Amino acid sequence: MLSMRETFLATTERILDADPDVAVVLADISAAQLAGAARRHPHRVINVGIREQLLVSTGAGLALAGLRPILHTFPSFLVERGFEQIKLDFSHQDVGGVLVSYGASYDMPTAGRTHQAPGDVALIDSLPGWAVHVPGHPAEARRLLLESIPGDGRVYLRLSAQENAEPHLGVGFTRLRSGRGGVVVAVGPVLDRVLRATAGQDVTVLYASTIRPFDAAGLRTAVLDAGTADVVLVEPYLAGTSAHWVAEALSDVPHRLKSLGVRRDTEIRTYGDIADHDLAHGLDAGSLALSVKDFLAT
Amino acid sequence: MTTATEPGYAELPRLISLMTGDDKHLAAAESTVDVLWVLYDRVLDITTENFREPGRDRFLLSKGHGPMAYYAVLTAKGFIDEAELATWSDPVSRLGHHPDRRRLPGVEISSGSLGHGLPIAFGTALGLRARGLTRPKVVTLVGDAELDEGSNHEAIVVAARAGLENLTTVVIDNQSSTRGWPDGIARRFAVEGWETRTVSGRDHDALYDAFTTAHPGRPLAVVAVVEPKG
């Protein structure tokens, strides 16, 4: 089966062949994989070299000329390096585009801090009106990409090497389990670990691959149905990135919240495998099980 | 040389002074006023009738601070009603200290932060080419100190390699860059493959020639030299 990244590139190539209004902007990353598309569409596959500020501004300029741009590189370079370009050239100009990153919080586990971007969703979240998709499976990534092309919205699609065994193609929060002891929210690739961590526990498990807009009504309904307003939020990027939305959704419900995700208190300076980073951040199934049990028992 | 009798041009100092309250002599010294006038009066096909058409020329004011001359030219060309100039920067006004494209039709980009206009213009020039629109020009105006921002240099390199003939950068050179540009600003563009022309930023005919003489297969940089920033 193709990875999320391979699925994205293959789907993008087909979109370019089918839709003359779509252009792709690259900064060397993935340029080799799209070389065939670049030969067929030399004016719509643009590799600016290792220039990420220009990558973002070029996309905005293409949108001003009436095209639908797809921008792609690693998240540390797409979102963090050119963030002012995202804020001004897309949001402030009020033009649309589809920003697609691959690499997530620590998908390149031996690469060190330079290639980790756990703050990307929080940064995008500081700007109004962006859709943020965090697919947990290649089939979700493909669907979310295809749905992002029509129109002129601003979309951030965060692809990862980590994925779940099965896709869930629902809109908003999908209730995968129902229980009375609390609500555990899993975003994107953490789902399978959350399901293992909560196996046998009397809790509701919600899943979303689209975290902005935030399905506040879905969360509120699930909490009221469970009858226990204890929420554990598990996100594969900075812990608590969606905590403000949970508070908003439950503003009229006395509740408790535990936010799990990539640690904010320290920079983890380790290499090894992705699983080693999961452990360091408490995002492996065993650590998640302990955190959930501990929180719901108190 | 400058012909102060051109219809409309003579009105600009008065229009600028409606915003600044300064006297008309100071208004006439605005560094961008002559370049903006020549572009809108003689070079660019941008009118109140066509400014939403895909085939229009584009003007991207990158140096967004001090937009009084820009607003004055847009007023002279019918995009802004003269009576609106008196509202400049007040809470109900569309005319801020940095232009906002979402508020003021005819303004192509919102600017203020330096180093954004040329990279966006690069993308727009590519986009027009991808859509088969080979006629429209994309012109962006930057300041010589604005070129300090590295983002410009990313665009300067790639625009030349892409052979973007439809892209023009005009640099208003009032010698205000803190570290300066040894061998001149034009050299920064020429070495990458741009056609470059350095002219007086006050000489309308020289500016017109610089903007309109053909430069096949290459983007164009016009360095418009004005008085050093006081």
- pLDDT at position B27 is 72
Q: Do A46 and B126 touch (CB under 8 A)?
A: yes
Residue of A nearest to B152 (CA): A54
- Cis check for the bond before A213: say yes or no (omega within 30 of 0): yes
A19, A47, A52, A57, best to mutate vs chain B, most B CBs in 10 Å: A57
Residues with Cβ < 8 Å from A183, sequence gap 6 or more?
A: A203, A204, A205, A206, A219, A222, A223, A226, A228, A230, A231, A232
Residues A140, A179 within the same domain: no
- pLDDT at position B212 is 98
pLDDT one-digit tens code per residue, A51-84: 999 999 999 999 999 999 999 999 999 999 999 9
Q: What is the mean pLDDT of chain B?
A: 94
Out of A57, A62, A89, the one facing B127 most closely (by C-beta) is: A62
Rounded-to-integer distance, Cα A104 and Cα A76, Å: 9
Q: Do A85 and B122 touch (CB under 8 A)?
A: no
Domain boundary residue among A135, A159, A183? A159
Rounded-to-integer distance, Cα A99 and Cα B112, Å: 24
Q: Is residue A246 part of a domain?
A: yes
Confidence of residue A298 (pLDDT cuts 50, 70, 90): low
- Looking at CA atoms only, how far is residue A140 from chain B in angstroms? 30
Q: Is A169 on the interface with B (CB under 8 A)?
A: no
Q: What is the ipTM of this complex?
A: 0.96
- B30-63+98-225: CATH topology: Rossmann fold (3.40.50)
Q: Looking at beta carbons, which residues of chain B come within 8 Å of A69?
A: 123
> Residue B171 pairs with which residues in a beta bridge?
B142, B223
Kindly tell me the sign of the dihedral angle through the C-alpha atoms of B119, B121, B126, B127: positive
Residue A137: give the domain boundaries: 4-159
Q: How far is CA B35 from CA A209, B145, B161, B170, B199, in A?
A: 51, 17, 27, 8, 11
pLDDT one-digit tens code per residue, B126-140: 999 999 999 999 999
Rounded-to-integer distance, Cα A68 and Cα A145, Å: 12
Q: Looking at beta carbons, which residues of chain A come within 8 Å of B105?
A: none
- Per domain, the residue ranges of chain B are 30-63+98-225
**Inter-residue contact B124 to B131 (CB < 8 Å):** no
Residues with Cβ < 8 Å from B183, sequence gap 6 or more?
A: none
Residue of B nearest to A86 (CA): B116
pLDDT one-digit tens code per residue, A30-44: 999 999 999 999 999
Q: Is A63 on the interface with B (CB under 8 A)?
A: yes
Q: Which B-chain residues 84-103 have CB contacts (< 8 A) with chain A? A: 101-102
DSSP A215-281: -HHHHHHHHHHHS--EEEEEEEEETTTTHHHHHHHTTTS--EEEEEEE-SSS-----S-HHHHHHHT
CATH of the domain at A263: 3.40.50.920
B57, B62, B124, best to mutate vs chain A, most A CBs in 10 Å: B124
Residues A107, A179 within the same domain: no
